[in-house]
């Protein structure tokens, strides 16, 4: 049997899984999503991802019609049906079908899709040598327009444009600034820097998504005794950091060794970064839901 996809309450063959051309997510980016990792049969921090999805849907006023437990069960069932013990799980929801911006035009309930895939964001060697990064001219939307805590479909157009900027100059990733000129995040990752022995990451109020991997790294830092604080981060801070790295579900934890033509620290992954990568990897096999 080929790959199966969960679509609106049932598992169906991937090639037969279709959504309407009038789906609000397709037409207007009116929806939310989550990316989740499976490590050795362990769906890492599944509940945390589902809770964030439900919060995004609630903020967008999208009624999913499923409880937290039902969504967790559907994700685990989809992974098991595909024998998906290592890889990526994508959960996408939209408001439903209907042409026109007004939600009163909708003719269906929310669309819910769960799929499994293999996803490698960066070549393996970059985790050992580190990423070259640029600063994108594309800014993150201000929180007064759309709260960065909402992992919405439409918001990621800006992130895609910033990623294209990085691609054009052969960089591995791009940092995105907020409207005040402070660093918010990378195109799909949170940013951490090490300044004077202290681990620092921008608060979500600066435009950063409250990443699940971000939270895990903060816990790892506390566990192994690395001083930590949330604080505004500027490009000046990044250029003068002792170390820097990015975190995300797809990216995991990856060193950032060069930014806008400047070497960060010694131009190679630093000791704090390496310790946190090791601590993060230890957690991935013990926290979550078994497939």
Nearest to 205 by CA among 244, 147, 260, 261: 147
* Residue 151 bears catalytic tag: yes
Q: Which residues of 106-135 are buried (b: 16+ CB within 10 A; e: fewer)?
A: bebebbbbbbbeeeebeeeebbeebbbbbb
What phi-psi label fits residue 9: left (phi over 0), alpha (psi between -120 and 50 degrees) or beta?
A: left
d(CA 163, CA 188): 9
Beta bridge partners of 185: 176
Contact 162, 178 (CB under 8 A): no
Contact 109, 73 (CB under 8 A): no
Give the number of other Cβ atoms within 10 Å of residue 222's Cβ. Answer: 12
Residues taking part in catalysis: 151
């Amino acid at each position: 049997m080929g790959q199966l996809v969960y679509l609106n309450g049932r598992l169906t063959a991937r090639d037969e899984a279709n959504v309407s051309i009038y789906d609000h997510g397709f037409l207007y980016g009116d929806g939310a999503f989550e990316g989740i990792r499976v490590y050795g049969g362990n769906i890492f921090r599944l509940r945390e991802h589902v809770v964030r999805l439900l919060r995004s849907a609630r903020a967008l006023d999208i009624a999913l019609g499923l409880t937290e437990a039902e969504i967790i069960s559907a994700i685990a069932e989809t992974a098991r049906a595909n024998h998906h013990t290592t890889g990526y799980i994508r959960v996408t929801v939209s408001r439903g079908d209907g042409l026109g911006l007004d939600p009163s035009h909708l003719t269906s309930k929310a669309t819910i899709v769960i799929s499994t895939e293999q996803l490698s964001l960066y070549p393996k060697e970059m985790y050992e040598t580190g990423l070259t990064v640029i600063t994108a001219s594309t800014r993150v939307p201000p929180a007064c327009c759309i709260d960065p805590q909402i992992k919405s479909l439409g918001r990621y157009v800006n992130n895609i444009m910033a990623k294209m900027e990085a691609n054009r100059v052969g960089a591995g990733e791009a940092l995105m600034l907020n409207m005040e000129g402070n660093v918010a995040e990378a195109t799909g990752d949170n940013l951490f820097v090490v300044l004077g022995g202290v681990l620092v990451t921008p608060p979500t109020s600066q435009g950063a998504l409250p990443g699940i991997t971000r939270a895990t790294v903060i816990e790892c830092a506390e566990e192994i005794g690395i001083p930590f604080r949330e604080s505004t981060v500027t490009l000046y801070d990044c250029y003068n950091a002792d170390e820097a790295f990015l975190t995300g579900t797809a990216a995991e934890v990856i060193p950032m060794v060069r930014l806008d033509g400047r070497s960060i620290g010694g131009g190679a992954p630093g000791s704090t970064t390496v310790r946190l990568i090791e601590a993060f990897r230890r957690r991935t096999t013990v926290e979550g839901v078994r497939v």
